[in-house]
């Protein structure tokens, strides 16, 4: 966060409408500074040491909350929470153009004296907290070494006896684990079961083709073809919006 803070400070110092009144190293410092200085605008890191977003909101008081711009390193799936709850954010690393556009919207909100939608803020914090509970990577032991497979790179997960095949765009890996056990650790907004033995990453789906009896062929971006049975079709339909 230190580099991001320096970048924000450097940009804000060039804006004649902005006065920087404080800078904090952790959540507790942020609470004390906002209570003392009462700023109109706060750039707030999602992952603050020593305190979380709920404690920040409750400590400041819902009626006293400043306009907030979140600064985050979360991936694209967590960013859906920002967009759904209509909160602005800066995704690290961010460009000067992105910072300028975000600041412009924040100024408009301040000038219009729009209140911070507290319930949406609490909903957002809750979604981000849940997001952090899911796996970000899986460790695989192969040929005497440990390989780290990022969750976002996985196309599909398929049960093969006592093992699971993790298919990526370039290769595949085997791990010894029950499918239901791994499924419980995955973000259900990203990974969905399409067959009793198969889970797919919905953002890695390239196309789908109907089969008989309501089943469908799911073709991944890697070219892998998988079968989705009709019993699992409804959940995927909800996540994709329309299929």
CATH code (residue 24): 3.40.50.2300
pLDDT at 49 over 70: no
Per the CB < 8 A criterion, the answer to whether 29 and 57 are in contact is no
Query: Under 8 Å CB-to-CB from 71, ≥6 apart: which residues?
Result: 1, 4, 8, 43, 44, 45, 46, 89, 90, 92, 94
Give the end of a domain, one of 131, 164, 182.
Answer: 131
Lowest mean pLDDT among 34-43, 82-91, 144-153, 169-178: 82-91
Range of the domain at 172: 137-240
Would you place residue 77 in the very low, low, confident or very high pLDDT band (cuts 50, 70, 90)?
very low
Q: What is the pLDDT of residue 173?
A: 92
Distance between CA atoms of 56 and 39, rounded to whole angstroms?
14
Q: Please tell me whether residues 159 and 236 are part of one structural domain.
A: yes
Using pLDDT thresholds of 50, 70 and 90, give the confidence band for residue 39.
very high
Boundary-marking domain end, from 108, 131, 154: 131
Res. 31: pLDDT tops 90: no
* Same-domain pairing of 162 and 127: no
Dump pLDDT digits (tens) for 133-143.
Answer: 678 888 888 87
Q: Are residues 51 and 103 in the same domain?
A: yes
Residue % of the chain over a pLDDT of 90: 19
Are residues 214 and 146 located together in one domain of the fold? yes
Tell me the residue length of the chain: 243
Q: What is the CATH number of the domain that holds 195?
A: 2.40.50.1020
Question: What is the SS3 string spanning the chain?
Answer: CHHHHHHHHHHHCCCCCCCCCCCCCCHHHHHHHHHHHCCCEEEEECCCCCCCHHHHHHHHCHHHCCEEEEEECCCHHHHHHHHHCCCCEEECCCCHHHHHHHHHHHHHHHHCCCCCCHHHHHHHHHHHHHHCCCCCEEEEEECCEEEEEEHHHEEEEEEECCEEEEEECCCEEEECCCHHHHHCCCCCCCEEEEECCEEEEHHHEEEEEECHHHCEEEEECCCCEEEECHHHHHHHHHHHCCC
The pLDDT score that the predictor gives to residue 78 is 54
Domain boundary, last residue among 110, 131, 152: 131
Question: Residues 9, 125: one domain?
Answer: yes
């Amino acid at each position: 966060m230190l580099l991001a803070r320096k970048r924000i400070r450097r940009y804000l110092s060039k804006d004649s409408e902005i006065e920087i009144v404080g800078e904090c190293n952790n959540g507790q410092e942020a609470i004390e500074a906002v209570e003392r200085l009462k700023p109109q605008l706060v750039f707030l890191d999602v992952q603050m040491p020593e305190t979380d977003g709920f404690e920040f909101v409750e400590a400041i008081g819902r009626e006293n909350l400043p306009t907030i711009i979140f600064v985050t390193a979360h991936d694209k799936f967590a960013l859906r929470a920002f967009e759904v709850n209509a909160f602005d954010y800066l995704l690290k690393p961010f460009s000067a153009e992105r910072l300028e556009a975000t600041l412009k919207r924040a100024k408009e909100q301040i000038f219009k004296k729009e209140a911070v939608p507290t319930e949406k803020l609490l909903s957002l914090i809750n979604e981000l907290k849940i997001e952090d509970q899911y796996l970000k990577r899986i460790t695989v032991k192969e040929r005497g070494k440990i390989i780290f497979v990022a969750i976002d790179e996985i196309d599909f997960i398929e049960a093969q006896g006592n093992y699971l095949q993790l298919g990526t765009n370039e290769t595949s890996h085997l791990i010894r684990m029950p499918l239901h056990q791994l499924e419980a650790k995955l973000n259900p907004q990203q990974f969905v079961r399409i067959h009793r033995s198969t889970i797919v990453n919905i953002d890695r789906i390239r196309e789908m083709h109907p089969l008989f009896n309501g089943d469908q062929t799911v073709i991944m971006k890697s070219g892998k073809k998988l079968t989705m049975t009709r019993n699992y079709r409804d959940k995927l339909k909800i996540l994709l919006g329309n299929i």
